Amino acid sequence: MAREPILKTWKLFIGGAFPRTESGRTMILWGADDRVVAHCCQGSRKDLRNTVELARKALPRWWARDAYNRSQILYRIAEMAEGRTAELVDAIRCVPEAGTDRAPTAATARKEVACGIDRLVAFAGWCDKFPQVIGSRNPVNGPYHDFTMPEPTGVCGVIAPNEPSFLGLVSHLAPVLAGGNVAIALASETNPLPSMVLAEICATSDVPGGVVNVLTGYRRELLPEFADHRDIDAIGGATEGNEERRLLELGAADNMKRVRLEHAAEIDYHDDDARHSPWTIEPFTEMKTIWHPSGS
């Protein structure tokens, strides 16, 4: 007798827990053959506001950790993801690629997962190195020690592109975390499953609750709240068209959010040289210059 599979509704990842959306709404993910692949939460503006509160609480503890420790936690995410490669590949392949009725090939999906995991390793390594690379000791006139070093901007919205659903999110999330920030990610709208698998990986990777948060839902509903929320300090990620960019930058102006957005269609996520640069971390840091007199 055929066994019916147990299909769960994927929940949000907020503050280290997996709650359902407060709105009680779900969205259906349709597969290539027009069958229901999964149900996901249709996150609401209120969910985002709740998330910001928990992320804000997590921020000082995350930044207070030694860089070596943050480095190991990012590496732990990569280790855990490696063990769940097959699940990530399946999640990537569960919906058709944009503009087609076919799922990505297994080889394409495996390449995407491998690249994403390697990216996590790359940024794990940056945690305790980028401050030396982008900071400075300033040769000022007069008897002063003067140095400049990066600090995290704070609570960062991370807008994943619709595709590639896994690699896109990882590529925008990793620099934010390596910089000592906490992240509120908005998963791919067309295929949120790989993001939710990543959330489960984070939940079992010693990532403190609230440091990584993942919401699923509609961009047109949630992006305005990302833009306007006054306790989000920065927004990074990929936009699907200039209207999204304009909307996010317009809202950001009100509380001087730092915004670093790229157009999803213009990004080559497989370009390791470009994506592993420390200058992808820099937009989510604040340079602090400290002066102290020296001498008597």
Partner 1 sequence: MTVNSDWTYAPAPERVDPEIAERHRLFIDGRFLSSRGRRTFETANPATEAVLSECDEANAADVDAAVAAARAAFRKWSRTRPQERAKHLYRIARRIQERSRELAVLETMDGGKPIRESRDVDLPLVAQHFFHNAGWCDKLKYAFPGATDPKPIGVCAQVIPWNFPLLMLAWKIAPALACGNTVVLKPAETTPLTALRFAEICEECELPKGVVNIVTGAGETGRLLVEHPDVDKIAFTGSTEVGKRIAASSAGTGKRLTLELGGKSPNIVFADASIDQAIEGIVQGIWFNQGHVCCAGSRLFVQESVLSEVITKLERRLSTLRVGDPLDKNTDVGAINSGAQLATIRDYLERGRAEGATMHEPSDASLPDKGHWCRPCFLSDVQPSHVVAREEIFGPVLAVMSFRTPEEAISRANDTRFGLAAGVWTDKGSKIFEIASRLQAGVVWLNTYNRFDATSPFGGVKESGFGREGGLHGLRGYLSL
Candidate residues 25, 258, 262, 270; the one interacting with partner 1 per rule CB under 8 A: 258
The interface mask with partner 1, positions 137-156, x = CB under 8 A, is -xxxxx-x-x-x--x-x---
Using CB under 8 A as the binding rule, whether residue 255 contacts partner 1 is answered as: yes
The reply to whether 288 sits near partner 1 by the rule CB under 8 A is yes
Site mask, partner 1, residues 214-233, x = CB under 8 A?
-------------------x
262 token code pair: 């790229």
> Is 245 a binder of partner 1 (CB under 8 A)?
yes
Residue closer to partner 1, measured from CB, 79 or 249? 249
Residue 236 contacts residue 156 (beta carbons within 8 Å) = yes
Strand order across the 9-10 sheet = 9-10, 36-41, 26-30
Tell me the pairing of strands 136-137 and 144-152: antiparallel
Comparing CB distances to partner 1, the nearer of 269 and 284 is 284
Cis link prior to 96 (omega < 30° from 0)? no
Tell me, by CB under 8 A, how many residues bind partner 1: 39
Give 13's DSSP letter.
Answer: B
Q: In the bound complex, what is the minimum distance in angstroms from residue 153's beta carbon to partner 1?
A: 8
Q: Specify the residue, 254 or 271, whose C-beta has the smaller distance to partner 1.
A: 254
Torsions phi, psi of 207, nearest 5? -75, 120
d(CA 202, CA 291): 39
